[in-house]
Amino acid sequence: MKPVIGIIGNSHLINDEYPAFAAGEMNVRAVADVSDALPLIVPTGAGTVCVQSLMERCDGFLFTGGRPNVHPEEYGEKATEAHGAFDRERDGIALPLIRACVMRGQPILGICRGFQEVNVAMGGTLYPEIRDLPGRDNHRMPPDGTLEEKFALRHKVTFSKDGPFQAMMGAQEVMTNTLHGQGIKTPGTRIVIDGYAPDGTPEAIYIADAPGFTMSVQWHPEWNAGDDPVSRPLFQAFGAACRDWAAGGMRKSA
């Protein structure tokens, strides 16, 4: 039986008027085809789900990207215009779920906003706008062009020598896309930054001494996940960790 991977959804308005919870098709296909798991989109509306129930029914969780940002109140700062839009209901599910999974050893994978959520959940802080920092590049999604152009590879990521990301990828340097505005300011407790962009922006993290899979990336590996030499091993390793969790019977015994 395939492991079940919960994909954390975002609040969304269809045609700017119909409220919905959504997750990108690219995330769903990456989980189904590359992680070889059953994808399950998780709604994040207040009162719709609880952390314990989710952990009993899923073997791992994918914390996806999303246009709204983690609210700065979650890391002790006041909101400004630069912080952009928020999704407080997702904050209310994602952050405690990350902490519970880390403690229990249940696999998690963070992507873009999810990468930032993992840092905040562990007590870290974020810059509201990377491109405004001296010496930093503009990491935001290009405003124009096709999806292929927006998700095109744009910069290198260099991993720590002999670190877990290098071991997973089989290379110390890889090329990635970049479609984010915010980034890590202060790493959270036990957060290990294992990869950087050329301008010093953190791009790959894991949680030290965690009993389970905790790798997260700032880029979007769900794009072309089955064929990309960087995306494929990440989703395969995540799927393997979820299968190991399911095989161990941890979900049933929770």
Does residue 101 carry a catalytic annotation? no
Residue percentage of the chain with pLDDT more than 70: 98
What domains, with CATH codes, occur in the chain? 4-253 (3.40.50.880)
Question: What average pLDDT does range 22-36 have in this prediction?
Answer: 96
Does residue 112 carry a catalytic annotation? yes
Of 74, 139, 220, 242, which one is the catalytic site residue? 220
pLDDT category of residue 60 using cuts at 50, 70 and 90:
very high
* Distance separating alpha carbons of residues 74 and 84, to the nearest angstrom: 15
Is residue 250 pLDDT above 70, yes or no? no
Of 58, 112, 139, 180, which one is the catalytic site residue? 112
Report pLDDT digits (tens) over 96-137.
999 999 999 999 999 999 999 999 999 999 999 999 999 999
pLDDT score at 45: 76
Is residue 251 pLDDT above 70, yes or no? no
CB–CB of 204/157 below 8 Å?
Answer: yes
pLDDT score at 254: 36
Report pLDDT digits (tens) over 149-206.
999 999 999 999 999 999 999 999 999 999 999 999 999 999 999 999 999 999 999 9
| Alpha-carbon distances, residue 208 vs 69, 105, 136, 138 (angstroms) | 25, 12, 27, 29
Is residue 141 pLDDT above 50, yes or no? yes
Question: What average pLDDT does range 53-75 have in this prediction?
Answer: 95
Does residue 222 carry a catalytic annotation? yes
